[in-house]
Amino acid sequence: MMQKLRAAWTHGVNDIIARLIQRYNNGNRMTQLLLIRHAVNDFVKTGKLAGWTPGVHLNDEGKAQAEALGTRLVDTPIQWLYASPLDRTMETAAAIQQHHPQLSIIQHADVGEVRYGDWEGKSIAALQTRKMWHVVQEYPSRAYFPNGETMRGVQNRAVDAIEALAAQHPRELVVVVSHADLIKMVMAHYLGTHLDNFQRIVIAPASISILQLGYGRPYVVSMNDTAHIQQMERERKAARDTASTVAR
């Protein structure tokens, strides 16, 4: 199936990544940043807030998503590969690195998950009864986590990290594997959207969002691109349909 996926992207003239590479090769030399959310894991089934909890690995579906992601980016001229230090982000980055063995995965704590402090590992159902939970949902710019970070601080941390990478790698193509809320906050910043509205942005597992940063205005090229996941699901359906036909 992965060979079919690669063929789909190799010949897919309408693919946003292919168009990005074409622009990049034609002299559009702003720093290209691909912000990628890690693939899925089973911790969400526990009903607890993961945060920096160690040992949260990709499940089988997450591994398949990460493999599809890596195949999507096989011909992308990635020059730097950064990832949050957590297991789920490092494993997603490893699926990309598999097709780019010349790259090392550079751990970057400043694109790591929100530090939830005393809330980390706690039941989400129990947390929803707290007043601060509703502040987090409705007015995140005023929210803070006991013995953890403020939401404003998280956005500042993430945006500062992205700006530093753009300055460190001018006119290069950089991949950053991070987390949903971090990517939402970064995209909100570059869209000029207030932090209180950042949850209106959708960032799905294994999705790709693209920024272009240079000396002038920033450009949001794409957000929440999951075409590779959709292609994987189409291939699965086709395989099931073929198997069903043969069984008849």
Residue type, 75: D
Q: Are 158 and 182 in contact (CB under 8 A)?
A: yes
pLDDT reading at 13 higher than 50: no
Which pLDDT tens digit goes with each residue over 111-135?
A: 999 999 999 999 999 999 999 999 9
Determine the distance from the C-alpha atom of residue 195 to the mean position of all C-alpha atoms in its chain, rounded to a whole number: 18
Cβ neighbours of 31 (radius 10 Å): 22
For the cut 80, the answer to whether the pLDDT of residue 6 exceeds it is no
Q: What is the mean pLDDT of the chain?
A: 91
Q: What is the pLDDT of residue 89?
A: 98
Starting at the earlier edge strand, list the strands of the sheet with 173-178: 105-107, 80-83, 173-178, 31-37, 208-213, 219-225
pTM of the entire predicted model: 0.90
Task: Compute the chain's Rg from CA coordinates.
Answer: 19
CB 79, CB 102: distance < 8 Å: no
Nearest to 141 by CA among 179, 193, 191, 190: 193
Report the chain's terminal Cα–Cα distance, integer Å.
23
* Average pLDDT over every residue of 5-21: 59
Range with the poorest average pLDDT among 70-74, 136-140, 163-167, 236-240: 236-240
Question: So what's the pLDDT on residue 19?
Answer: 72
Asked if 88 contacts 178 with a C-beta cutoff of 8 angstroms, the reply is no
* pLDDT for res 243: 72
